[in-house]
A = this chain, B = another copy of it.
Amino acid sequence: MEPHIVDDLSAFKLAFRRHAAGVAVVTGRTPDGTPVGFTVTSLASLAAVPPLATFNMARISTAWPAVEGTTHVLIHLLGARNRALADRLSGPHDERFAGDHWAPGPLDLPLLKDVPAWMIGRIVERLPVADNAVVVVQVEDGGLGPEDAALLYHERAYLIPGSPVPD
């Protein structure tokens, strides 16, 4: 039927190139209080009762010690107006919290300003898989900012949602 790829990495890359994902930023603090954060396209709902969500990360990332050593993180859902935040929180580490785009929020966690929504997540599972981890959080609380179009990442570009697909 369809052309067969017969190469695991190509199959993975070519398939995910056709995938689109919402953009979020996870923030936390290392045990010594240093703010850390990173942009993710892997945020997903796991259940509503109790409210559970997942995100994926590399355990070789500089943010892993913070996620490994903390009880809570903040998860920010980005809108189109937050594109610069997505870039900043995936850019050089020493620039991620240089500026006034954040302030200490609940539990003293770094809260990004002007996002459409954020959630406080209590980490309930950290599943190591090879050099990576799946992190499961239970949402305990959150807040809302002004509404905005959702920020999407697709084919290495930032986009907003487009036309509805009819039945």
Residues of A within 8 A of B (CB): 1-22, 24, 41-56, 58, 75, 77, 79-80, 83-84, 87, 103, 105, 111, 113, 115-120, 124-125, 127, 129-132, 134, 136, 138-145, 147-152, 154, 157-167
Asked whether B20 lies within 8 Å of A22 as measured between CB atoms, the reply is: yes
Cα of A15 to Cα of B163 in the assembled complex, Å? 22
Given the known interface contacts A77-B15, A103-B1, the answer about A162 and B164 at a Cβ–Cβ threshold of 8 Å is: no
Number of copies of this kind of chain in the complex: 2
The contact sample of 24 A-B pairs, CB cut-off 8 A, is A1-B113, A2-B115, A3-B143, A4-B143, A5-B141, A6-B141, A8-B139, A12-B45, A14-B144, A16-B53, A19-B43, A20-B21, A20-B161, A21-B21, A21-B22, A47-B129, A54-B54, A83-B166, A87-B167, A125-B127, A125-B129, A159-B161, A159-B162, A161-B161
Asked whether A129 lies within 8 Å of B136 as measured between CB atoms, the reply is: yes
Asked whether B119 lies within 8 Å of A11 as measured between CB atoms, the reply is: yes
A15 nearest CB neighbor, chain B only: B117
Asked whether A52 lies within 8 Å of B167 as measured between CB atoms, the reply is: no
* 3 nearest CB pairs, A to B: A162-B162, A11-B142, A12-B51
**Distance in Å from the Cβ of A146 to the closest Cβ of chain B?**
9
Given the known interface contacts A2-B118, A127-B134, A127-B136, the answer about A14 and B79 at a Cβ–Cβ threshold of 8 Å is: no
Asked whether A11 lies within 8 Å of B159 as measured between CB atoms, the reply is: no
